[in-house]
Structure 1
Amino acid sequence: MKKFSIVIAGGGSTYTPGIVMMLLDNLNRFPLRSLKLYDNDGERQETIAKALEILMKENAPDVEFGYTTDPQVAFTDVDFCMAHIRVGKYAMRELDEKIPMRYRVVGQETCGPGGIAYGMRSIGGMMELIDFMETYSPDCWMLNYSNPASIVAEACRVLKPQSKVINICDMPVGTKRRMGYIVGKDPKDMVVKYFGLNHFGWWTSVKDENGTDLMPQLLEYVSQNGYLTDRAVETQHMDESWQQTHRKAADLLKLTPQFLPNTYLKYYLYPDYVVDHTNPDHTRANEVMEGREKEVFGAARAIVQAGTAKGGGFTIDNHASFIVDLACAIAFNTHEQMLCIVENKGAICNFDSTAMVEVPCLVGSDGPEPLCQGDIPTFAKGMMEEQLASERLVVEAWIEGSYLKLWQALTLSKTVPSAAVAKKILDDFIEVNREYWPLLK
């Protein structure tokens, strides 16, 4: 069986150890010959990398391991780039969340103004990574799960239309795992139909491997409990703020009682509720910095100090499994069904054919092939068209350096109450993003 070479872009991420653990756990079906970490923050990456170096020597000594800040070293002779970058790191995420809250507007990492600000930072970073990949390993595939995925995917469509980039999100995977627990099924045996934009969609069908319709049972459960379950069924999305989000799905369902909602819709359908239940001085970014950030880096330092990863604090991230599934589907042409963010091309029949939509795809060696989801109802279509227009304006604003288009993008977001408020948020964001955004005129 062929062995593969991988570079993880964003090597200093708190998610990198979980991904490496998942790769080690799947060497039998996805063998590795080389694993490299790449990050432009060498100091941050080194803490994680030194611990992973010990882990790799103890568990897979035959796999060549390295880490670097040199893009040529990182991207030469690689088959897959797994990208999860965060331009500006958590310091900028905190501002993404807290600046909108000054005006009682949703402060969230990927939705509303925060997502737009993050998107404006991510586009340049992603285009740089793609250039590195295509320069040094032109046959490489990039599996991108950097946020905000919708804006990044739209930028790829416009600026890198021929690039071998697949944009994918772990949120539907986590929700599907919860669905499986609710109905007592292995999520991998469940066949779904789904339509939307990333962090903005609905399940229209869920069946088991025998074709039994699971939607009635799921709709009944979610109408009472949301996606909240009585035990942890995933390693991600378990903090109290996430539990509130899972619970809120019951209210989302009331607006589309025939479809199961993506949990992120709460930011668009109940923005006043979100603001009322958010501490403007202590947002999700603070929770992550105080929790996951300290835990992962603490575990890394402990492994280095002990000189062994045995009994160490790194664990497999359940959410990382979909990344290995995606790589296997491409490498071995399995045509596995997965939710990917792809150009619509008629998959949603009554929606813009060039829109980057999130739908079930069959994934093989040529990449994802979207499956037809038919027509969608007016309510969802209207919401999606507004959100799509906002995301496209963000990309146009980045390309053109247009203040007006970014103001329009913020104004169109369903989370923002008026153009006046949008302008105040934009001006505040410009002040703190001068190092990351293009100059706006």
Structure 2
Amino acid sequence: MNSVKIVTIGGGSSYTPELIEGFIKRYNELPVRELWLVDIEEGKEKLEIVGSLARRMVEKAGIPMKIHLTLDRREALKGADFVTTQLRVGLLDARIKDEKIPLKYGVIGQETNGPGGLFKGLRTIPVILGICKDMEELCPDAWLVNFANPAGMVTEAVLRYSNIKKVVGLCNVPVGMKMNIAELLGVEGSRVHIDFAGLNHMVFGLNVYLDGGNVTSQVIGKLTDGSVSGVTMKNIKDMQWEPEFLQALGVLPCPYHRYYYQTRKMFEHELEASRNEGTRAEVVKKLEAELFELYKDPQLDIKPPQLEQRGGAYYSDAACNLINSLYNDKGDIQTVNVRNNGAIAGIPDDSAVELNCVITKDGPKPLAVGELPVPVRGLVQQIKSFERTAAEAAVTGDYKIALMAMVINPLVPSDGIAKQILDEMLEAHREHLPLFFRTEPAAALV
């Protein structure tokens, strides 16, 4: 049996036990003999806590998987088969700023959407591209599987500004939607199939099938008759859709579409929450502290169920299924972020999209969907323009391009407000945005 080496950058994440559980469950098919968990100095304590839990989980499973912990990324990357990225530049304190600052200007503050999504991308993309450069040298044949948000924008940047060809972006939203729909229908998840297409956190379920039969209208009916709650996630407020709107839309929106179709209600909810229990990032910070206290328990040797409150449900299934299918040439269908290559009409062929793909050893093969429905097409194209412009700003450190990205985003109401938010957030994140504060001209990352 071949030996597989996987490197997880951001290994001290609270999500890592999900990943460990997924690799353990699939060990007979995916023989991970070396798993390197990599972090930075600021994450050293969490890395050691999570690493110890990971070793206890592996020991309990009785499999020969060696867990390595390191702050030396380059040492870890040598000879890797798969590299996964789940990092957060600036940690949760940066996310708190992303969520709080826009609220002052009457704009939604969210981790991957609007101004918050822009700044998470500006901080994350240069770091990911640095990892890509190391991979080109140290493990040129490895697959890069990126979970770091904003996953679509990051995948866009890797496709455009690195020499890495074997890259896939991944999100647990489509899997979560499928399982929620299965629950709504009262059936096992394996009986449900959804045709997904769009962008990361901007993906639509074009058709829903139960045992091969199209039940899209039935599902939309259940979501609009008031008998069930909406399909959402732990980190997004469950607000009911207007029935006539959802019926006219004719496809399933993802939970993040609430920020675009229910903007005022979502803003008011965020503002109230920030004044009471805190922003989502502040809530997560408390939850993470509790999780890491659990992780410290030397008797704990499983993934604790409390992790699902973090928003990580189905994370391991999405991540480990993808790696397993790439390794074993499974030819199954999964929803991932890849180069469009004509699969979605109206989106540049060389741009990243999120859609169903057949997963093979040579990479994901997108399943063509043609034109998106007219009601959703324009919004998807606008967000793609935002992602492309944001990626360019991230690699150049160009203030004007960053401003343009901010203005393009539909959650920002005007160029004047965009400039105010941009200026304050640039200053707030100065430490993690060196390209924007160069004192002399310098070559961009491109």
TM-score (structure 2 length as normaliser): 0.89
Contact 2:17 2:303 in 1 (8 A): no
The CA deviation at 1:32 is 1.9
Contact 1:338 1:360 in 2 (8 A): yes
Equivalent position of 1:5 in the other structure: 5
Q: Give the 3 Å change call, closer, same or farther, for CA 252–99 of structure 1 in structure 2.
A: farther
Equivalent position of 2:69 in the other structure: 67
- Does structure 1 residue 296 correspond to structure 2 residue 291? yes
1:222-237 matched pairs, under 5 angstroms: 222-225=223-226, 228=229, 237=233
The CA deviation at 1:312 is 7.7
The CA deviation at 1:378 is 2.9
Deviation digits for residues 303-353 of structure 1 (CA, Å, limit 9, x no counterpart): 2xxxx3357847795321111110111111111111111222221124332
Letter in 1 for 2:399: Y
- Does structure 1 residue 14 correspond to structure 2 residue 14? yes
Indicate the larger mover: 248-257 or 87-96. 248-257
Equivalent position of 1:418 in the other structure: 414
Indicate the larger mover: 344-353 or 121-130. 344-353
Distance 1:253 1:108 in 2: 24
Equivalent position of 2:217 in the other structure: 216
| Aligned length in residues | 426
The CA deviation at 1:164 is 1.4
Distance 1:87 1:321 in 2: 25
Contact 2:197 2:354 in 1 (8 A): yes
Distance 2:180 2:98 in 1: 29
- Structure 1, unaligned runs of 5 or more: none
Stretches of 4+ aligned residues off by more than 4 angstroms: 249-253, 314-317
Match among 296, 300, 303 for residue 309 of structure 1: 300
Distance 2:301 2:88 in 1: 29
Match among 45, 48, 59 for residue 46 of structure 1: 48
Match among 114, 117, 140 for residue 115 of structure 1: 117
Equivalent position of 2:274 in the other structure: 280
Match among 239, 246, 252 for residue 260 of structure 1: 252
Deviation digits for residues 376-405 of structure 1 (CA, Å, limit 9, x no counterpart): 233312112211111111111122221111
Match among 298, 312, 331 for residue 335 of structure 1: 331
Indicate the larger mover: 56-65 or 265-274. 56-65
SS of the residue corresponding to residue 338 of structure 2 reads: strand
Q: Give the 3 Å change call, closer, same or farther, for CA 312–359 of structure 1 in structure 2.
A: closer
Equivalent position of 2:32 in the other structure: 32
Indicate the larger mover: 346-355 or 151-160. 346-355
Distance 1:352 1:360 in 2: 17
Q: Give the 3 Å change call, closer, same or farther, for CA 227–426 of structure 1 in structure 2.
A: farther
Equivalent position of 1:83 in the other structure: 85
Distance 1:46 1:267 in 2: 37
Contact 1:79 1:140 in 2 (8 A): yes
Distance 1:3 1:320 in 2: 20
Letter in 2 for 1:406: A
Contact 1:123 1:155 in 2 (8 A): yes
Contact 1:102 1:280 in 2 (8 A): no
Contact 2:38 2:76 in 1 (8 A): yes
Distance 1:47 1:19 in 2: 15
Distance 1:310 1:126 in 2: 31
SS of the residue corresponding to residue 274 of structure 2 reads: coil
CA RMSD of aligned residues (A): 2.3
Contact 2:136 2:164 in 1 (8 A): no
Contact 2:201 2:254 in 1 (8 A): yes
1:421-432 matched pairs, under 5 angstroms: 421-432=417-428
Distance 1:255 1:111 in 2: 25
Indicate the larger mover: 138-147 or 97-106. 138-147
1:39-438 matched pairs, under 5 angstroms: 39-40=39-40, 41-60=43-62, 62-209=64-211, 211-225=212-226, 228=229, 237-238=233-234, 242=236, 244-245=237-238, 247-249=239-241, 254=246, 256-278=248-270, 279-281=273-275, 282-291=278-287, 293-303=288-298, 308-310=299-301, 313=304, 318-438=314-434
- Structure 2, unaligned runs of 5 or more: 438-446
Q: Give the 3 Å change call, closer, same or farther, for CA 55–392 of structure 1 in structure 2.
A: same
Deviation digits for residues 266-303 of structure 1 (CA, Å, limit 9, x no counterpart): 11222211111113341100111112x02320112122
The CA deviation at 1:257 is 3.1
Among all aligned residue pairs of Structure 1 and Structure 2, give the percentage whose two residues are the same amino acid. Answer: 29
